[in-house]
Amino acid sequence: MLTQENLTSLSDIADLNQLKFELNHLPAVDVGDYIGELPAERRAIAFRLLNKGQAIDVFEYLPPEVQEELIGSLHDTHIRQIVEAMRPDDRAALFDELPAGVVKRLLQQLSSEERQATATILGYLDGTAGRVMTTEYVRLREGLTVGEALSKIRLSDRDKETIYYAYVTDDNRKLLAVVSLRQLLFTLPDALIGDIASDRVLRARTEMPQEEVAQLMKRYDLIALPVVDREDRLVGIITIDDVVDILEEEATEDIQKLAGVSGGDEAALSEPQVTIRKRLPWLLGNIVLYVGAASAIAPFQKTIALVPVLAVIMPILSNASGNVAIQALSVTVRGLGVGEVTPDDTLQILRKEILAGLATALGLGLSLGILSLIWSTPNERWVAIVASMVMSINVLVAATLGTLIPMGLKRLNLDPALISGPLLTTVLDAVGFFTFLSMISLALNVFHFKS
């Protein structure tokens, strides 16, 4: 199999016939990558070497800016053929990225059937089942025999996204049952579809969030899931390849949101200005918030001047409780993300976090106490006791909040990753610093501890 490197050198020695052969025989996704990385002036040339079927497949894998460029530089007839033959869901995704003017022109050139299919998908909200489904699927009537059904599948458009499931509907397109190609093959040809199809058919409503669709298909190991409207009429299907992409997208979102990247959708190789836009506002916002935490310290500057070992202890206090919070937050957000836990499990998971948190609080509290003893001067030894106590309490609060906050957000139907790890640690710092310094001041002023 030729690699990317082979291809590039082939295009350099300009052996066009060999290149053409390779471009038409390699997987479309590889050819898409190859054309996407060519210098702009050579992309249209390479694309014209593709035969029609391959051109349609490859086009879907090109980056949006290259798609737009090709739409501008290729002949209108060529473009119309490609866009007409695209799967409705891929076409809708393309139209999402293109300028409105270009979309309008392309829509006008589509056949009314394909235009309707695209409009249907674009009519649903982003991130819902309706938006990720395709309108190309195999539909059967109950009265058909297995043999007739197989003939119908054979005669149907080869481009149906999957033929491995066929859906049985009534005259009003109401979804009644599902039958797999496997069942059709394993049954005698004169059996009736109505007799072998299963009427316990899982389905998604058009407005179901895409991550719920993905979890449903994962749970039941489905290759395809039918999508129905409010009247239970079949409007499309979602296929497993889309689910794989959705699951990856959702996991990336969780990871990045937990780290404070706005939107959770920064590409690793994005432009620097995208990176700045996704990260800087949140960082600046967090600094403003952190002023709150630091303000908790500001009134105690005299105390710190009296007991400077506090400046050594406080970062450890902040760091450790922050880490505890981030651990609890990450495990809980991910547990919710993969559907392993639901808000109904709040008490159970909280019990676990508090029990584990107690042990952690003890361990970290003791550690900080010992360290404080080592660092403090003989007169400051009492600080170690306060440090231990505040550390233990802060760690327990951190574990509790790291669990309760995402659970609460999910219960309110909000994104559990809405509160990022650093945001939570900022709040914990404010509370921790204030408690710690207040107790130290109290000890200094009321109990007249020496410093």
Binding residue (CB under 8 A) for its own copies from 355, 412, 414, 442: 355
Residues 70-109: x where in contact with its own copies by CB under 8 A, - otherwise, as a string:
----------------------------------------
Q: Which residues pair with 178 in a beta bridge?
A: 167, 198
Give, as ranges, the residues between 273 and 302 that touch its own copies (CB under 8 A). Answer: 273, 275-276, 279-280, 283-284, 286-287, 290-291, 293-294, 297-298, 301-302
The DSSP code for 413 is: T
Least Cβ distance, residue 292 to its own copies (angstroms): 11
Residue 340 within binding range of its own copies, rule CB under 8 A:
yes
Number of residues that bind its own copies (CB under 8 A): 114
Q: In the structure encoding, which two tokens stand for residue 264, read together?
A: 């959770």
The rounded distance, in Å, linking the Cα atoms of 54 and 70 is 15
Question: Whose structure tokens read 């391959």?
Answer: 54
CA-CA-CA-CA dihedral for 20, 24, 30, 33, to nearest 10:
50
Q: Which is nearer to its own copies, 73 or 323 (CB)?
A: 323
Q: Look up residue 190 and give its amino acid.
A: D
Is 204 within 8 Å of 257 (Cβ atoms)? no
Find how far residue 170's CA is from the centre of its chain. 36
Helical H segments across 298-382, by residue range: 301-306, 310-337, 346-375
First to last CA, the chain: 75
Residue 330 within binding range of its own copies, rule CB under 8 A:
yes
Give, as ranges, the residues between 166 and 185 that touch its own copies (CB under 8 A). Answer: 181-182, 185
Give, as ranges, the residues between 107 and 146 that touch its own copies (CB under 8 A). Answer: none
Least Cβ distance, residue 217 to its own copies (angstroms): 8
Q: Which is nearer to its own copies, 111 or 348 (CB)?
A: 348
Residue 154 within binding range of its own copies, rule CB under 8 A:
yes
Give, as ranges, the residues between 383 and 442 that touch its own copies (CB under 8 A). Answer: 421-422, 425-426, 429, 433
Q: Which is nearer to its own copies, 280 or 414 (CB)?
A: 280
Residue 275's SS3 state is helix
Give, as ranges, the residues between 192 and 211 that touch its own copies (CB under 8 A). Answer: 200, 202
Question: Whose structure tokens read 């089942």?
Answer: 129
Residues 230-269: x where in contact with its own copies by CB under 8 A, - otherwise, as a string:
----------xx-xxx-xx--xx-xxx-xxxx----xxxx
Residue 313 within binding range of its own copies, rule CB under 8 A:
yes
Is 144 within 8 Å of 193 (Cβ atoms)? yes
Least Cβ distance, residue 104 to its own copies (angstroms): 30
Least Cβ distance, residue 98 to its own copies (angstroms): 23
Bridge pairing between strands 165-169 and 224-228: unpaired
Q: Give the contacts of 84 (CB within 8 A, at least 6 positions apart).
A: 109, 110, 111, 114
Least Cβ distance, residue 171 to its own copies (angstroms): 24
